[in-house]
Structures are given as C-alpha cells and as structure tokens.
Chain A
Amino acid sequence: MSRFACPIALTGLGVISSAGIGLDAALTAVQSGTSCLKPVPAELTNSRQQHLWGPADQFKAADFIAPLKARKLDRASQMAVAATGLALADAGLDKGQYRAGQIGIALGCGFGGIVNSAELLGGYFKQGVPGLSPMLFPNTVANAAASNTSIEYGLQGPNITFIQRFCSAESAILAACRFLEEGRADIMLAGGVDELNPLMIRAFSANGQLQRAAAGFGEGAGILVLERGDHAAQRTVRVRAELVSIETIGYLLPGLAEQGLERLTRNTADCRVGMLSGVAPRGLELEQHLRHLRLQQPGLLLGRSLAMGGTVAALLTAQLGPGEQGLQLAASPEGPFYSLVLQGGPAE
C-alpha cells in the first residue's frame, strides 16, 4: 500500500563514490564485496592506529564542468553538479527539455560548506580582516551544492537542503516525494552529497569519532530523478523503481521502543532485499522486525557519510527485479531512522 497520493517513479540515477564514477563502479564493488577504502594518512590522525577513509579519488571536476566555472564551486557542489548530470542523462532529460519551474532539487548535505568555512576563517585567524577572501563565503552555506546545481541545470522548482545526521539524504527524498505528490514539481532531483577533507579527519580524530560514527568515512554524491508516475508515463521513460513508502521516527522513546520499531518497519513485509544507509544503530532490536532480511551495508565498502542515502537508494534499485520490493533502512546511532521501500520497475 503506497503511502503516497500518487505513484513516485524513479527514472534516473547518478552516483559518484570512492569506487569511481557512475552506478556501475559502485555496484561492482558492492556485489563483489570489494572495499574501496584506504588508509588515512597517519599525519592526519596523530594516532598509531590505522584508520580508513573513502575519498572519491577518481572524481575530477574538469571531466564534467568547465574549469573557470569549476573554480567557483566547492567540492560538494562539483560532485552534486556532476552526479546530477549523470542522473538527468540516465533519465533521458536534456537541459532545456523540461519546464524550469516544474523541476526542483532536494539534497542532503552533511558537511557541505565546512571546507570553505575553515578556509575563510583560517585566513582571518592568520591575517586578521585583510586575510578574508570574499570569494569563499558564498559556498560556506550547506545549500551551496543544491543551489549551484540548480543554477547549472536551470532548476527553478522547489529547492531544499537537509542536514539530519546519517539520514540527510533520506530527509531530502521524503521532501522530494511530497513536492511531487502536491504538484509543486513534475520532476525532483533528490539524494545526497558529502565531501571529505583532511581537516574533517583531524576533527574526527580529535573528538574520537574516527573510532565511532566517522570510522570509514567516505564522500560522493548519489542523485535520483524522481517523477510523478503520470509524468514518467507521459514521456515514456523507463521506470527503474517506484517509491512505495517512506517511514521515519526521530528516536526510540524509552518504554515505547517497540511501537517506534513497528512504525518504522510496518511496510517492509514484502521486501526481499535490504540495505543499510548510515551507521548500524545501537540497541535497535531490528532482528525480530526484519528477520526475513539480511541488510547489506554498502557503506562499509564505499565509505559512510551523512548524505549517503542517495547512493544507497541507487544501489538498491539496481538490485531489484521487476516487481520486487527492497528496503533501505537509514539510521544514525541515536536516531533518526528512516525506512524506504522501493519496488523494481517493469522489465525493459
């Protein structure tokens, strides 16, 4: 039973990850169980213990964006622009073929803007006011990735950015579905983008997160093209999957955890494939609710990030047979939690 007032069709996917460019690279790594993580340089961690990270080394902005333009974008924006281009192409949508006011973007963006923020402040701390670079400031905001993407592709519909722990991208996907449901847009780009840099690793090392939630942190972008079902049908595009339902709870309330879990998993009985986005939750007694599923954890191979949900949704979609349902469970250590149920589209 769909929780949406209309069918939500997934018609395009764009992925950039530590495995490389495109969905196939990430899918190959996940299906073969190949880790794309590599050691964090020891000088970043001040630790004898080896830590792993998943930078998207194969991503070169110049492959997607004109150099003069790319220089004005932070890395998260560059990856969002590139992955959106891949997703639009996958959905058969060329720039200019859609109505600008009827296509929007909803992104999760964990640490987007942090690098520019640190660089701007670094100049100030070292040199005072003369050390400030005005060019850096516009991309200190977390919405820079979605906004730069909207500028690149002329997306004038709803534009929204979320940060919500490891569920940032799932938050964006939920909003995108609602905007389609309401008719605020015909098409929504949705997903997540996150970037890695040495300063973040030093910060994670300082506050102990390298041993906890930030262990094996990665970067990349996963963008979905979502459309109302009637819109997708009208333009006779291949529907890769349908979003069947999205459930979310903020955290498990003491004494009411069971009710929370029931809400979270109430549409998952028909799921035959499962993937975890984010971090395996502590003390979450999911086994009895999801006993029919073994949750794959692509983040352990590609690197986890706060906004990896778009990439996980793309990977899950690629594994669904026609009519087959799959679960994307997104979790942060202490909440929030999301469950997305996708159903594979018809055979080509």
Chain B
Amino acid sequence: MTSPVRIAITGLGVFCAAGKDSAAYRASLLNGVSAIGPLELFDTTGFPSRIAAQIKDFQPEELFSPQERRHLSRTDQIALLAAQEAVAMSGLTQAYDPYEVGICIGGGVGGMLHAEQWLQAELAGQPASPGLLRTLLPDCSTTALARAFGFGGYQGSITTACSSSATAIGWSADLIRSGRQQAMLCGGADALARLTFAGFNALKVLDPQPCAPFSAGRQGLSLGEGAAFFVLEEEQAALARGARILGYLLGYALLGEAHHMTAPEPSGMMAAAVMQAALAAAGVTTDQVGWINAHGTGTPLNDAVESQAVKQVFGQRALQVPLVSTKPITGHCLGAAGAIEALATLLCLNQGMIPQTLHFRGPDPECDLEYCHGGSRASSSRIALSNSFAFGGNITSLVLEAAPPGGEVRP
C-alpha cells in the first residue's frame, strides 16, 4: 500500500465553534479555549446535557442571499464557508482541468436540522414547507461545493458516522494516487441537530459538563458542529504550479471492527490495527510519530480502549507519545470531526506544539498515558496520527506530516 506518490496539502479551511477560519482556530488550539457552552440552536428542555460547541454569532443572512439560504442547509453553509478558505489558500481554481478536480465530503446529519421541522409539523398534522426537505441528505453539500467552485471531477459523500471525514480525506488521497484526479477538495461538514443531540442524550453518553477525555469521572462527550477542508494534490504537481505546501497526508487506513454498533472492540486490538495499517501505508515507523490526536470522545469505554490500543502500537514508547484530544475545544463534530481534528493536528504540527487536553478532573487508572492534561507543550515532531473511531466500528487513522521548513503559510 505504500506509494511513492506524496500527497501534499496546499489549502485548508475551517468554520467551527472554535474558530471561523484557520487563524482563529489555531489560536483556540494554542490557547486551549473551549467552545463548549449552552446550546441555543433549538430547545434543550428536559435533556440531561444541555451544552454543545455551537457556532455562535453566525448570521447566514449576512453571508448568503435568500435564494442561497433556501437551497443550502446549515451544514451546506458551513461547508461552503470552510471550503472557500481552503480553495482560496490553495490557488487551485484554474490550476487544473476542472474535470481533474474532485470533491469528497464526510458528512453526518446533512440537512436534518431543517427536515426535523417538516417532520414535527407532519406528525402534528400541520402544514410544513416542503423546502425543508430539500437538502436532507449529506450529498447536497458535495453538490453545492462542486457548483460553487466549478469543479467537475469526482463527487463523493462518505457517511461512516464519526469517521466520515477522516475517511473522506484518506479516500481523496487514494483518488489522486490512483491517477483518477489531480486534485481533491476534501473534508467534512456536520451541523448540530435535534436527532443527534436527542439520540446521544438517550444513550446517556453526553456529559452534562464540558467533556473531559481521559479524566476520572468523565461521563461522555460534548457535541459540536463545523466544517473543515483540505486541498490535496500530488506534491510534484503542486510544486510545479508554484503552490505552497502546508503539509502532507502520508497515509491512512480504514477498517471495520465487526464487533458492535456502538461499543468499541474492548481489547483495543482493532484500534491498534488501524493505526498500524495507517503507519504502514505511510511508510512511517512508530519512532517517527510524535503524538496522536485521539478520537478521545470522553466516554469511559472509548478513552480506555484507545489508551490500550496506543500501548499495543507503541509499546514501551507509548508514554513518550502524547495522546491528546481536541474535542474539549471543538466539541465532537461527528461527521466533520475527522477533518476538524486532522486540521488541528496539522496546524499544531506546523506550530511545533502539542495541544492540551482540557477539562482534567483527575487521573483515571485506565488512562495511564500522557494526555497533556497539564497544558500544551512544544514539540519538534513532524509526524502525528489523527484517529477517528465511529458507530458501527468504522475506524480510520490518518498520518500527517508538517509542512517543509519555510513552506507553511499563516493565514
């Protein structure tokens, strides 16, 4: 699976609660600022947990025309905003035959937030606007981006729950490596919705307080919303057109645990296997990995299993490879989580630092690795893993490398 073709990252963009562009997002990561707070997007009365990382001060009417708002769900809108930053940064437009540029998005609820209003009215026997159903499926975001940027190549929407967008990034690299596309705009977008908020509350896996991954007393996750995108190109082609290299996607792996719809395989064997497969695909040894951006949801079982898996992969070196979670900063953005966290990983690699895992409540004997609970730290590491583990046992791991010296841009 190792390929001599190096996949360069030449554009990146984000629009999430922790930052509405890369610069703001990086500041939140460096300063350890959590975006989790009261959820105001819909009524949360009666739920055990009533918090989330909602994108605040977001006024679509200031950014989109009435016609655009009719055709774009909240998910589509934040996807467009994040993708615009990535495309502009890359200078991709006009660089290739437009049929050589594809789009792949990892999604989740798509336009469910709007469809929920239709369903509520339907169930109550009240009239509802059929337009609320227009953008239900997550592939609408992919189509919207293709039209907005005029990219006529591949269109794909991956829906593997919390690993959707990590897989979309890896799969996009595959499309370039296989010669099917010369460049890919890839990432993920997912908005908050009653469905996911109610569903995770029903499963009793939402922490009433901001999530505290790898801590004693953690009670679960905090939801979030957002979008993040990357522009991927083959390195030599990117250099030939004068693009700045912001980093590399060295490799990835995806596996199915085939164990349980909601619980991780308890030994950590499968989580370890996907990290090992990703490293093998990237041609990277464990000694080269500086740290790991964990899936790190803050649920009791996930954090313990992921810690166990890291020990299996890194052996005696596991304590020297911090396992950090950026979800206390961003919330768990579900279908967009993989992309938002891959971007966090790259921004921190390029900054020479490892981010902090916020909200420490005390040590947990089942989580006995280094989690940077005490604060962020400087690091000379150039390579990190980013894990995304999902409902259904869909697990994906990305291997990212920092920009070459002098190549990084600071948006």
Is B391's beta carbon under 8 Å from chain A?
Answer: yes
Contact bitstring A152-195, B, C-beta under 8 A = 1, else 0: 01111111111111000001000100100111100000000000
Chain B residues in 8 Å Cβ range of A253: 98-99, 150, 152
Is B71's beta carbon under 8 Å from chain A?
Answer: no
Q: List 18 A-B contacts (CB under 8 A).
A: A101-B273, A110-B137, A120-B195, A120-B198, A137-B199, A137-B200, A138-B391, A144-B391, A147-B256, A147-B391, A160-B167, A178-B175, A207-B130, A250-B102, A250-B151, A250-B152, A251-B146, A260-B152
Is A104's beta carbon under 8 Å from chain B?
Answer: yes
Would B174 and A256 count as touching, CB distance under 8 A? Answer: no
Cα–Cα distance between A338 and B142 once the two chains are bound (Å) = 16
Q: How far is the CB of B282 from chain A (nearest CB, A)?
A: 13
Is A143's beta carbon under 8 Å from chain B?
Answer: yes
Checking B119, B147, B394 against A122 with a beta-carbon cut-off of 8 angstroms, the contacting residue is: B119
Checking B119, B130, B273, B391 against A121 with a beta-carbon cut-off of 8 angstroms, the contacting residue is: B119
Cα–Cα distance between A124 and B47 once the two chains are bound (Å) = 11
Q: In residues 13-51 of chain A, which contact B (Cβ within 8 Å)?
A: none
Chain B residues in 8 Å Cβ range of A259: 97, 99
Would B258 and A121 count as touching, CB distance under 8 A? Answer: no
Number of interface residues of B (CB under 8 A): 75
Chain A residues in 8 Å Cβ range of B306: none
Known: A121-B195, A256-B99. A161 touches B159 (CB 8 A): yes
Q: In residues 220-269 of chain B, which contact A (Cβ within 8 Å)?
A: 253-262
Checking B122, B198, B255 against A159 with a beta-carbon cut-off of 8 angstroms, the contacting residue is: B255
Cα–Cα distance between A178 and B200 once the two chains are bound (Å) = 34
Is B331's beta carbon under 8 Å from chain A?
Answer: no
CB closest chain-A residue, reference B179:
A3
Chain A residues in 8 Å Cβ range of B195: 117, 120-121, 140
Cα–Cα distance between A101 and B112 once the two chains are bound (Å) = 34
Is A295's beta carbon under 8 Å from chain B?
Answer: no
In the complex, besides A143-B391, A150-B258, A162-B159, 14 extra interface pairs with C-beta distance below 8 angstroms are A140-B195, A142-B159, A159-B392, A159-B394, A160-B160, A163-B107, A178-B174, A203-B133, A206-B128, A207-B130, A250-B146, A250-B151, A251-B147, A256-B99
Q: Which one of A56-64, A128-136, A320-328 is at the B interface?
A: A128-136
Question: What 10 A-B pairs come out closest when comparing CB atoms?
Answer: A147-B392, A159-B256, A137-B199, A207-B130, A250-B155, A142-B159, A129-B46, A132-B202, A150-B256, A138-B261
Helix, strand, loop or mixed for chain A's interface? mixed
Q: How far is the CB of A239 from chain B (nearest CB, A)?
A: 23
B interface residues with partner A (beta carbon < 8 Å)? 1, 45-47, 97-99, 102-103, 107-108, 112, 116, 118-120, 122-124, 128, 130-131, 133-134, 137-139, 142-143, 146-147, 150-161, 167, 171, 174-175, 178, 180, 194-195, 198-204, 253-262, 270, 273, 390-394
CB closest chain-B residue, reference A202:
B122
Is A286's beta carbon under 8 Å from chain B?
Answer: no
Chain A residues in 8 Å Cβ range of B270: 156
Q: In residues 60-110 of chain A, which contact B (Cβ within 8 Å)?
A: 100-101, 104-105, 109-110
Would B159 and A143 count as touching, CB distance under 8 A? Answer: yes
Q: How far is the CB of B76 from chain A (nearest CB, A)?
A: 14
Checking B153, B204, B390 against A143 with a beta-carbon cut-off of 8 angstroms, the contacting residue is: B390
Residue of A142, A155, A248 most packed against chain B (CB within 10 A):
A142
Checking B108, B156, B174 against A182 with a beta-carbon cut-off of 8 angstroms, the contacting residue is: B174
Chain B residues in 8 Å Cβ range of A100: 258
Cα–Cα distance between A4 and B161 once the two chains are bound (Å) = 29
Cα–Cα distance between A203 and B112 once the two chains are bound (Å) = 13
Known: A137-B203, A151-B259, A156-B257. A183 touches B156 (CB 8 A): no
Known: A158-B254, A249-B99, A250-B154. A138 touches B160 (CB 8 A): no
Q: How far is the CB of A268 from chain B (nearest CB, A)?
A: 17
Would A184 and B1 count as touching, CB distance under 8 A? Answer: yes
Checking A129, A157, A161, A249 against B153 with a beta-carbon cut-off of 8 angstroms, the contacting residue is: A249
Cα–Cα distance between A308 and B120 once the two chains are bound (Å) = 30
Would B261 and A147 count as touching, CB distance under 8 A? Answer: yes
Checking B143, B178, B200 against A181 with a beta-carbon cut-off of 8 angstroms, the contacting residue is: B178
Residue of B147, B253, B392 most packed against chain A (CB within 10 A):
B392
Is A208's beta carbon under 8 Å from chain B?
Answer: yes
Would A143 and B152 count as touching, CB distance under 8 A? Answer: no
Cα–Cα distance between A105 and B255 once the two chains are bound (Å) = 10
CB closest chain-B residue, reference A77:
B261
CB closest chain-A residue, reference B203:
A134
CB closest chain-B residue, reference A112:
B159
Checking B154, B180, B256 against A155 with a beta-carbon cut-off of 8 angstroms, the contacting residue is: B256
Is A252's beta carbon under 8 Å from chain B?
Answer: yes
